[in-house]
Amino acid sequence: MEKVLDLLSLVANEKGLDFDEVKEAFKRSIIKTAQNVLGDIDVDVEIEDGELKIYQNFEVINDDRALENPEKYLYLDEARDYDPNVQLGDRLKAELDLGKLGRSGAMSLQREFEREITRLLENEIYRKLISKLNTIVNGEVVKVDDEENTWIEIYGVQGVLPRRNRIKGEKFEVGDVLKALLKFVHFDNKKGITIELSRTAPKFLEKLIESAVPEVRDGIIKIHSSSRIPGVRSKVSVSSLNPQVEPIGTIIGKNGVRINSISNELHGENIDVIEYSNKPEIYVARALSPAIVKNVKVDEKKGIAYVEVSPEEKAKAIGKNGVNITLASMLTKYKIELQDEKEKTTDTSKLENLFKI
């Protein structure tokens, strides 16, 4: 059996798997194959002195069960051929020769071992994917189906970027390499690994900023929240933990080079970067930029921010098709009601529902 261990070591090295896991997989393969070929037998596979040994377990008896089921029971006199000291009721381990399985058994063992290795590889990939959850992954497009869902290969398995998770106006072709947020990973013994990707999630924007801005990666600048209408406009609130580092300018970069590279990845999405405040009134006022607001009152119980704006600033606060006020509401988590000098209000709750991703 020493050659078997050499083979298992070779498989482990070639597949990048743990040797002990491969060894256990081979043990399971032998047990399952032996039971399939020889019937309902009790099998142990052990490593002794560096050798792999297979044992069939018997119960020592002196009745007709040994005749009816010779794969599970042995008469006492037969058992003493293996161990002279064995007694009735003892359990006896007899070494099992793989040759007893026959040619069909050997082929069955090979297929079973291949299945076990496939499961190990899937588990290894699953562990890698779980460690990358909610981060950006790169993959090559291998298929675009009739419903415009895009299939991407990652770590040797295919993940799907559903049409609903794709920025409006984007189109991908086989061979394209794209970035996406690893949004969901699930492993099922029958279906294998299921992967869902997204380019519309606010987290995708945050991770793009993190990859483009070293100060964010290093924890000097903190991203507090983000909101998006994918491909149109987004807002992100940030703060600096170092008074010498100005967060907005650092993220935008010299001549806008950093923010423009992120916008280009998002199909031209306009990105507003605002400074976070732990004072809700200031936070809401900043979130409504570029509008300049007169006053903000927050009702924490109702989750409503009442914002007073001048007539000339109202259009800016609302934005084209309600985009600005909707993003501000999503960013701050307050329903924003605009009040002009005549106390008329604009309720954003219905507008916001149009842009939920």
Going edge to edge, which strands form the sheet with 270-275? 221-229, 233-240, 270-275
43 has pLDDT over 90? no
Average pLDDT score, the chain = 89
Nearest in space to 213 (alpha carbons), one of 273, 163, 301: 273
Percent pLDDT > 90 in the chain is 62
Q: How far is 159 from 194, CA to CA, in rounded Å? A: 7
Q: How far is 98 from 238, CA to CA, in rounded Å? A: 66
Report the range of poorest mean pLDDT among 219-223, 230-234, 337-341: 337-341
Residue 207: CB atoms within 10 A of its CB come to 19
Instruction: Report pLDDT for 60.
Output: 87
Contacts of residue 210, Cβ cutoff 8 Å, sequence gap at least 6: 216, 217, 223
Give me the domains of the chain, ranges plus CATH numbers. Answer: 2-129 (3.30.1480), 134-198 (2.40.50.140), 201-276 (3.30.300.20), 280-357 (3.30.300.20)
Instruction: Report pLDDT for 49.
Output: 63
Instruction: Report pLDDT for 215.
Output: 97
The alpha carbon of residue 165 and the mean position of all alpha carbons in its chain are separated, in whole angstroms, by 15
State the DSSP H helix or E strand holding residue 328, giving kind and residue range, or none if neither. Answer: helix 323-332
Instruction: Report pLDDT for 78.
Output: 82
Q: How far is 109 from 36, CA to CA, in rounded Å? A: 10
pLDDT tens digits along 283-332: 999 999 999 999 999 999 999 999 999 999 999 999 999 999 999 999 99
Instruction: Report pLDDT for 357.
Output: 46
Report the range of poorest mean pLDDT among 8-22, 123-137, 332-346: 332-346
Residue 279: CB atoms within 10 A of its CB come to 10
Instruction: Report pLDDT for 152.
Output: 97
Looking at residue 98, the DSSP 8-state letter turns out to be G
Instruction: Report pLDDT for 72.
Output: 79
Nearest in space to 251 (alpha carbons), one of 261, 265, 266, 242: 261
- Written as six digits, the tokens of 206 are 């945050």
CA dihedral 159, 164, 168, 174 (to 10 degrees): 30
Residues belonging to the chain = 357
Q: How far is 141 from 180, CA to CA, in rounded Å? A: 12
CA dihedral 10, 13, 17, 19 (to 10 degrees): 50
Instruction: Report pLDDT for 50.
Output: 62
pLDDT tens digits along 92-114: 877 777 777 788 888 888 899 99
Residue 297 φ/ψ, nearest 5 degrees: -125, 130
Instruction: Report pLDDT for 94.
Output: 76
User: Which is higher by pLDDT, 8 or 142?
Assistant: 142
Residue 103: CB atoms within 10 A of its CB come to 8
347 has pLDDT over 90? no
pLDDT tens digits along 164-205: 999 999 999 999 999 999 999 998 877 789 999 999 999 999
Q: Is the dihedral of CA 165, 174, 270, 184 positive or negative?
A: positive
User: Which is higher by pLDDT, 128 or 75?
Assistant: 128
76 has pLDDT over 90? no
Nearest in space to 305 (alpha carbons), one of 313, 315, 317: 317
Q: How far is 9 from 39, CA to CA, in rounded Å? A: 30
